[in-house]
Amino acid sequence: MISKKIEEIEESDLQSLIDNKVLESKTIEYKRELPNNSDSSKKEFLADVTSFANSSGGDLIVGIEQNNQIGKPKEICGIGIENADKEKTRLDDIIRTGIEPRILSVSIQAIPLENSNFAFIIRIPKSWNGPHRVILGGHAKFYARNSSGKYEMDVDELRVAFNLSETLTDRIRNFRLDRIAKVQANETPVPLGSPHRVVLHLIHGNAFNPSVKFDVNSIYASWHDKLPLIYRSTLNGRYNLDGLFTYSNADDGKHSAYTQLYRNGIIEAVDTQMLAPREQNGVILKYISSVLFEGKLIQATTRYLNLMSELAVEPPIFIFLSLLNVKDYTIPGNIYNDFSTCPVDRNMLLLPAEIIESYGVETTTILKPIFDLVWNACGEPRSLNFDENGNWIAK
């Protein structure tokens, strides 16, 4: 795999593969031509894609002439086409309809060449929800890769692959539940105040691979911008055993928020102020100020995703939102909407994950289903801060 973000790869990077005689391997393969519209050509292409997803991930590079016997690249020829975007759409459609289950976060990049042709890179991540099989035309076969290229998986390999997929899903769920239990028990990087807490987790699909570690030192000088708190301005930051975290000032020895960047790329952000009960005329009010709540989460999540992209964390990324100690909370109206919702009927709202397949998606689009569930918990059909087209209007 080329060690650059796919959108930054240029012809010179492809030429360096030739100059350095980089052979085909478990994570890289060269093709002279794109698949045509015949079933046999598409099946061969899909076999390559699934073999990467079912193994370690990698780059399928199209438009390079190679020595078929030893897999050594010889020349960048490129593909002579008029509309590269149309071709990317065609390839994406082949992948989307010809593989089961769907592979998340496949990226396709067209690279313009000096000879006016295009080379294509199809970057396939190691999948978290495999194994994947080719289903085009009733093919129904599973492929994996080794240093010699792709091969059809046997029964034992399939059994291991299915078990690993279930294990990863369990690890993500168990990590979240373990962290929620620790936040509830005040086993946090700094002691927290109010027990009414917003907890946001961003967990990527490769987080539990023991070899995956990210350089938290690279952002230390700018932690106040890149690792913000959800609600308040970021005031303090330091290292801890888990990585790097930022936190608010203390009031009577208690803090209102922190954001933890783990060395494996997971981000955990906790805030206690947005849900802190208010007293008015001697009455304790428990409510979710929806515009503030949603707006702050949109801003913070956008910056966390920017940080993960900078660290080269590969999607998919699972976003979990949890609200702790929120029984009897409501969402009140405002001067435009004179209403009050039903109270939340349980102490904890552990909302299901939203999955980000690639960077660049609007954060409001990602978070809308989560916000809708918060409003559902208060008896409403959806968040009233979005219009009928799904745009956040902060009503």
What pLDDT, on a 0 to 100 scale, did the predictor assign at position 4?
83
CB atoms closer than 10 angstroms to residue 199 = 21
Rounded CA separation 290/292 (Å): 5
Rounded CA separation 55/126 (Å): 6
What pLDDT, on a 0 to 100 scale, did the predictor assign at position 53?
92
1 burial level (CB within 10 Å; 0-12, 13-18, 19+): middle
User: What's the token pair of residue 257?
Assistant: 């928020």
Beta strands 58-62 and 28-31, pairing class: parallel
Cβ 237 vs Cβ 246: under 8 Å: yes
* Helix residue spans in the chain (DSSP H): 11-19, 39-53, 84-98, 155-184, 223-226, 290-310, 363-377
Rounded CA separation 278/143 (Å): 58
Please say whether the dihedral angle defined by the alpha carbons of residues 51, 57, 63 and 64, taken in this order, is positive or negative. negative
Amino acid present at 17: L
Q: What is the pTM of this model?
A: 0.72
Q: Which residue has the tokens 């990049």?
A: 109
Contact partners, residue 344, CB within 8 Å, separation at least 6: 326, 327, 328, 329, 330, 377, 378
Rounded CA separation 305/313 (Å): 9
Domain 6-153 maps to which CATH number in 3.30.950.30, 3.40.50.2030, 3.40.50.300, 1.10.10.10?
3.30.950.30
Separation of CA 90 from chain center = 24
What pLDDT, on a 0 to 100 scale, did the predictor assign at position 98?
94
- The series of mean pLDDT values per 10 residues for the chain, 395 residues long, is 86 92 91 93 95 92 85 90 93 94 89 94 87 89 89 88 77 93 96 96 88 89 92 91 95 94 97 89 86 96 95 90 96 64 93 88 94 95 92 86
Amino acid present at 155: V
Counting other chains too, the contacts that 106-110 makes at CB distance below 8 Å and 24 or more residues apart are 106/49, 107/6, 107/358, 109/6, 109/7, 109/9, 110/84, 110/85
Query: 368: left (phi > 0), else alpha (psi -120 to 50), else beta?
Result: alpha
What pLDDT, on a 0 to 100 scale, did the predictor assign at position 139?
83
User: What's the token pair of residue 260?
Assistant: 């933890």
Q: Where in the chain is the domain with CATH 3.30.950.30?
A: 6-153
Query: 174: left (phi > 0), else alpha (psi -120 to 50), else beta?
Result: alpha
Rounded CA separation 49/53 (Å): 6
What pLDDT, on a 0 to 100 scale, did the predictor assign at position 149?
86
At 267 the three-state DSSP class reads: strand
What pLDDT, on a 0 to 100 scale, did the predictor assign at position 334?
56
